[in-house]
């Protein structure tokens, strides 16, 4: 797991052909908007979260974020324990995100 600043995260994401953006916030938080092309898996769903993470491709690079960077850091640690080698946490989360945000469509 690696903690990346907003600029590092955005730059690395833009140059990564294997990138997957992962939003681990709650449904209520996601209703306020989501980073474009992100997939949403709520970390508070417990085993359902683990099951969804285990279904992901471990060879991809995951750019993970939440509201402030805490839950996404936890998600990256869980992913690491499950065999993911490339999980990047967005420091400061959506609170500090200055990039694009779109409406979430489930």
Closest listed residue to residue 80, CA positions, set 61, 96, 99 = 61
Q: What is the pLDDT of residues 33-56, one digit of tens each?
A: 999 999 999 999 999 999 999 999
Asked about 66 being catalytic, the answer comes back as yes
Catalytic residue among 13, 34, 66, 76: 66
Residue 93 near residue 3 (C-beta atoms within 8 A): no
pLDDT attached to residue 105? 76
Closest listed residue to residue 9, CA positions, set 79, 80, 76 = 76
CATH of domain 2-96: 3.40.250.10
Extents of the domains making up the chain? 2-96
User: pTM for this one?
Assistant: 0.95
């Amino acid at each position: 797991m690696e903690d990346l600043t907003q600029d590092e995260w955005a730059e690395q994401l833009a140059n990564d052909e294997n990138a997957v953006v992962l939003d681990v916030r709650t449904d209520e938080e996601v209703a306020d908007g989501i980073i474009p092309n992100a997939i949403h898996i709520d970390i508070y769903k417990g085993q359902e979260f683990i099951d969804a993470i285990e279904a992901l491709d471990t060879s991809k690079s995951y750019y993970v974020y939440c509201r402030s960077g805490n839950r996404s850091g936890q998600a990256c640690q869980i992913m690491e324990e499950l065999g993911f080698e490339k999980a990047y946490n967005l420091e400061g989360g959506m609170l500090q995100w200055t990039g694009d945000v779109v409406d979430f469509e489930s």
